[in-house]
Amino acid sequence: MRLLLINGINTAFGGSGKNLLNNWLDNFSKNTIEVSIYNTVPTFGLKNKNKSLYLILFLYFFPGSIFRLFKSPIFEFLFKISPFVIFIIIYKIIIKKYKLILFSHYCVFLYAPIVQRSKRVFIIHDLLYKRSKSFTYSRKYCRIIFKVELLLYSLAPYIICLSYQEWRILSKFIGKNVALASCLSDQSFNIEPKYDQMINQIAVVSDWRRSENIHGIVKFFSMGSLSEGGLEDLEFWIYGISSETAISAIKSIPNIVYKFYDGGVFGSYSDIPAKYFLVPIYQGAGIKVKTLETFSNGRFVFGTPGAFIGLPLSLVKQYSRVIFKPSDIVLTCNLSHQEIRNSFQGSYVKLFSPIGDILKGWIL
């Protein structure tokens, strides 16, 4: 089976989106599915994001880039409308015959009419309706966005969700052929962590280029005070792309007294010795791939409610805790990393299906 995946997320410079795509490619290979990937966001040979690249991309995605000037979330459907993308998609479907065309992320869904309806598959990374709610837009406005989304999703006969809650919502309002896909591959559960001697470290892992991640860590550590809990001996290690940006943002918090260290970019989770992870996030929707990766690598997660969106909390209650401020952190987990990993894997695979299995089930 030959597929074309139209990737609407910029994965050229790393991040959870790139990890997710690699996990899917691993599953496609396991299912002997031939897939071609069209990354709609080119790099034009540049190795890093800079002002030159942003200017080129603004012109490349014109007129869609004009809508970035408007703050309303409803315009996000239009951000990547470009005659260049239209031409490339048409060219690709002409030179090769694909069984299915996968449109990954809502920013590319408006290209769906280019291809035959029976071949369209929408991969919904997050509902804009849910994300708008997290940014505290009015209920009336969020309902309008949801109605627009349902109208847009009607363009495809097959829909894949990554979030459990969003899958339930769309199953109710759309009906059949709405599937819940895994963001992980079998390889995601094969990392051996080394945290036995680092019980006082708490790792905070994220892509710190994203504003919502900086907002989350600053807001979290701005709450409460050290005197409320015995955190004097704890060390918070910041890992991920642009970790220095997060460290700088944290230092700007008035009267901050916790111990922070810059762990930088890491190769794999086996490079992080902490048993406990912290995920402070307040904005966004979908599912947090970093949270899934943390569980799959056998770590205990402290997180704000936003850290666990997309997952039933009952699935991870043994090795996670919802917290609201630093003093809520209490290191009491007695489970080994193998026990956390195996328990999570057993529960997760029962609920979330491999993307290749879903596609084969629809076509065969």
State the average pLDDT over residues 104-127: 96
Residue 232, pLDDT > 80, answer no
Q: Which of 142, 110, 138 is nearest to 127 (CA)?
A: 142
Residue 76, pLDDT > 60, answer yes
Residue 226, pLDDT > 60, answer no
In a 3-state reduction of DSSP, which class is residue 30?
helix
DSSP string, 197-252: T-TTEEEEE--TTSHHHHHHHHHHHTSS-GGGS--TT-EEEEESTTHHHHHHHHHT
Beta strands 300-303 and 158-161 are unpaired
Q: b/e per residue, 204-238, with b = 16+ CB within 10 A?
A: bbbbbbbebbbbbbbebbeeeeeeeeebeebebbb
- Rounded Cα distance between 182 and 123, Å, is 12
How many percent of the chain have pLDDT more than 90? 68
pLDDT of residue 269: 86
pLDDT of residue 51: 85
Residue 102 gets the label, from left (phi > 0), alpha (psi -120 to 50) or beta, of beta
pLDDT one-digit tens code per residue, 286-324: 999 889 999 999 999 999 999 999 999 999 999 999 999
- Where does the pLDDT of residue 364 fall: very low under 50, low under 70, confident under 90, or very high at 90 and above? low
Tokens 């390889």 label which residue?
187
- Where does the pLDDT of residue 225 fall: very low under 50, low under 70, confident under 90, or very high at 90 and above? low
What would the two tokens of residue 353 be?
């299906």
Which of 7-21, 119-133, 190-204 comes out lowest in average pLDDT? 190-204
- Where does the pLDDT of residue 230 fall: very low under 50, low under 70, confident under 90, or very high at 90 and above? low
Q: Which of 282, 16, 286 is nearest to 130 (CA)?
A: 286
Mean pLDDT highest for which of 56-60, 183-187, 227-231? Answer: 56-60
CATH architecture under which domain 2-186+351-363 falls: 3-Layer(aba) Sandwich (3.40)
pLDDT of residue 198: 62
Residue 17, pLDDT > 60, answer yes
Residues of the chain with CATH 3.40.50.2000: 188-348
pLDDT of residue 255: 79
pLDDT of residue 324: 93
Q: Which of 12, 16, 33, 18 is nearest to 355 (CA)?
A: 33
Which of 3-17, 26-40, 182-196 comes out lowest in average pLDDT? 182-196
Which of 93-102, 130-139, 175-184, 250-259 comes out lowest in average pLDDT? 250-259
State the average pLDDT over residues 274-278: 93
Residue 104, pLDDT > 90, answer yes
E strand or H helix at 156: none
Q: Is 125 exposed, middle or buried (0-12, 13-18, 19+ CB in 10 A)?
A: buried
CATH architecture under which domain 188-348 falls: 3-Layer(aba) Sandwich (3.40)
Query: Residue 295 is which amino acid?
Result: F
Residue 128, pLDDT > 90, answer yes
Residue 194, pLDDT > 80, answer no
What would the two tokens of residue 70 be?
């408007």
In a 3-state reduction of DSSP, which class is residue 290?
helix
E strand or H helix at 322: strand 320-322
